[in-house]
A and B are shown apart, each in its own frame.
Chain A
Amino acid sequence: MTTPIDIAWLQRSFPELSGFRQLGQGGQKFVLAAKHRRDGDVVLKIVYPKTDPESVRREILAVQQIQSSRVPRILEHGIADTNLGACVWLREEKVSGDTLRNMLARGPLPPESILRLGLQMMEALDGAEHAQIVHRDVKPDNIMRDTAGDFWLLDFGIARHLDLSSLTATSLPFGKMTLGYAPPEQCRNFKREIDSRADLFALGVTMHECATGKNAFLDPPPRDHLELLKRVEQVVLPPVALPITEADSFQDLIATMTQKNRIHRPRTIGHARRWLREICEREGLV
């Protein structure tokens, strides 16, 4: 294993963990899988020292406040001196399965999976909404399906706490987001307009992608980020015809979630969740 973190240090610092295996490495953190003596399979995240400590603190706070069964729990966290310097570390519940991104590489999802995904993500986002938190980065890369077929929402790294001051400079032309999933108001960094309806937009785009197998904003590939931004602001996602009895209602829901202006989306995650739940009930899925 080639890691920026000294493996001997890892074993010394986390004696209750064994079987370290690298999962990923981003600009902000280094992620490993390991086995905990008591908790079993876990994820260990080591945040690089250059990362803003307040954003890490807020990520931890978000997961703790949301307390959703569809969000992996943070089991423990702390600060340790590493060969890179002082790093915040987080030990999380591990979800064994595949990311939605990998699943989509194999094609669209069956209708039952899309409905389940929608319901479970709305459950997670409903928890976030109640805690005044906006995830701001709902996308296939941040959703996992476990081996039982249940979906999990990951990575609250850029979550916005609506009751705390913003960490994003108001003067920035673009907000923190992933283009192609974030709604226009988030792309444009209209901070006063960012609330849970931003997550509904991103989830709507994700569910649409699950049904069609492609993100209509990203396909064909845009020339650059400015063209992509224009698409997000101007292109209406084509209707989806899911082969279910409630196809029209499902299409209505996706069309509403992905409206360009948040006033035309469902008023809350709870409203959207009830809507989807009714569709699932009529389909005999819940």
Chain B
Amino acid sequence: MELYLQFGYGMMEHCRTLLRSWGGGSVILSPRDLTDDQLLRFGSDILKIPGGDVILDPQFYLPHSDHEKLCNHAYWPSAYSTTLFWQGQALSRLLESLRDLNSRIGCSRFVLPGLFASVVDDDWAETQRSVLEEARAGSDNASLISTIAISAEAARDENQIADLIERTEAWKVPAYYVVCEHPNGQYLVDDPNWIANVLDLCAGLRLAGSQVILGYCTHQMLAANVAGVNAIASGSWMNVRSFPPEKFNATYEDEIRQRATWYYCPQALSEYKIPFLDIAHRLGILQLMAPPPELDGGYATALFSGAQPSTVGFGEQGAFRHYLHALHEQVRLSNTESFDSAVADYEARLTTAETLLARLQAANIRGQLRDFAEIVDVNRAGLGLFSALRGAVLRRQWDTL
């Protein structure tokens, strides 16, 4: 599994720095946050980095969006006078325009526009099929990535997930970009059904021979490794670590206004505000929270230098780079030898986190809404159900994924 960087507000320099330090990697470009010119310039920058790659998420989730930056892109339609948009020349023009933009940026793969599905039904599926069919007429099929964007309700419904998997079998797409809304706007999802179903969807796509990029992830989706997912994508702010569809509308109240610096303790799978690190420091247990050497990019070294953490100037930049570097290494080190070893590896990660979290919680060091203590069992339950549904087949076909 790989980590892709999900572009969002203020991500340019993070992407450049991290990709250089990793010796390459992929960035998912966001038209919501970049103008046409910026897309071209930034895309070019990334492609100049050895091993650097970009794909463009057209963010066509809500076609009637009034988000100013999205609507200003040349590919964004100005009107949808009739429903024939999805069956005729207007769709052709949209794809042609996107194809042209992808080409000018230098993207080797073409992420297709996909509507946000509140419900997976015939109408939505027909639109997906139309887009795909039209795209195939003008592009090499091997370069296509179909977008599947679904609501939290759809992701929680096993019947809709099953229906979706069945439908995709006929689409025969080489790769999917899957984005699933989190229930109730949660950062860490507390519903094991959601986890199991998202894993099930990804495994179903993988078993049908397609690659899967799971977009807008937190570290909670390190679990996706057991479904054979090819890449998860994450970024800096909360709104690129989960998928709030409303952020593609102008009225979205961006949580970036409520800035706080969080330190990601990767072995606890939890994030902490800096004052809690101060408490840990004063209780003499701060070193328990230091990143293990294999996950440490040096971005958070100052926090563990012996000084009071809140006095060392650990800010947003360091917090984001530390998060993404640690996550990158966690992804890279995830065991992919077999289904059973992937499961064992992830379970061990949960057990390690659980043990440390108990110790930290005993000292009242808590990550509040980013604490994984309540999520350990959620992911265990989700993983258990997923293993019961898919384990036997994945165990057998793992090497052929």
Contacts and interface: CB of A to CB of B under 8 A. Distances in A.
Interface of A: 236, 249, 252-253, 255-256, 259, 261, 263-264, 266-267, 275
Contacts of B391: 252
A252 B389 contact: no
Nearest to B207: A267
Contacts of A256: 392-393
25 contacts: A236-B388, A249-B396, A252-B391, A252-B392, A252-B395, A252-B396, A253-B392, A255-B388, A255-B392, A256-B392, A256-B393, A259-B389, A261-B158, A261-B162, A261-B389, A263-B162, A263-B165, A263-B166, A263-B204, A264-B389, A264-B390, A264-B393, A266-B393, A267-B207, A275-B396
Interface string B145-170: 00000000000001000100110000
Contacts of A264: 389-390, 393
A253 B396 CA distance: 10
A266 B393 CA distance: 8
B150 to A, nearest CB: 16
Contacts of B389: 259, 261, 264
B137 to A, nearest CB: 29
A253 B397 CA distance: 12
A82 to B, nearest CB: 47
The B contact surface, by secondary structure, is: helix
A92 to B, nearest CB: 37
Contacts of A255: 388, 392
A252 B397 CA distance: 12
A256 B388 CA distance: 9
Nearest to B397: A271
Nearest to B203: A264
A253 B162 CA distance: 20
Interface in B155-199: 158, 162, 165-166
Contacts of B207: 267
A267 B158 CA distance: 18
Contacts of B392: 252-253, 255-256
The A contact surface, by secondary structure, is: helix
Contacts of A266: 393
B312 to A, nearest CB: 51
Interface in B340-392: 388-392
Nearest to A274: B396
A85 B393 CA distance: 53
Contacts of B166: 263
A249 B395 CA distance: 9
Nearest to B159: A261
Q: Select the residue from A252, A261, A275 with max chain B CB neighbours within 10 A.
A: A261
Nearest to A275: B396
A275 B397 CA distance: 10
Contacts of B390: 264
Nearest to A260: B389
Interface string B205-249: 001000000000000000000000000000000000000000000
Nearest to B158: A261
Contacts of B396: 249, 252, 275
Q: Select the residue from B165, B204, B393 with max chain A CB neighbours within 10 A.
A: B393
B240 to A, nearest CB: 31
A266 B207 CA distance: 10
Contacts of A253: 392
The 3 closest A-B pairs by CB, nearest first: A252-B392, A256-B392, A264-B389
A266 B392 CA distance: 10
A264 to B, nearest CB: 5
B385 to A, nearest CB: 11
B126 to A, nearest CB: 16
Q: Select the residue from B158, B391, B395, B396 with max chain A CB neighbours within 10 A.
A: B396
Nearest to B391: A252
Contacts of A275: 396
A71 to B, nearest CB: 28
A108 to B, nearest CB: 22
Contacts of A267: 207
Given A259-B389, A263-B162, 14 more contacts: A252-B391, A252-B392, A252-B396, A255-B388, A255-B392, A256-B392, A256-B393, A261-B162, A263-B165, A263-B204, A264-B389, A266-B393, A267-B207, A275-B396
B29 to A, nearest CB: 33
Contacts of A261: 158, 162, 389
Contacts of A259: 389
A255 B158 CA distance: 19
A228 B388 CA distance: 22
A275 B158 CA distance: 27
A267 B396 CA distance: 13
A256 B389 CA distance: 8
A253 B388 CA distance: 12
A23 to B, nearest CB: 39
Q: Select the residue from B158, B207, B392, B395 with max chain A CB neighbours within 10 A.
A: B392
Contacts of A249: 396
A127 B266 CA distance: 53
A267 B393 CA distance: 10
Nearest to A193: B166
B341 to A, nearest CB: 15
Contacts of A236: 388
A269 B390 CA distance: 17
A250 to B, nearest CB: 10
Nearest to B163: A263
Interface in B99-137: none
B227 to A, nearest CB: 13
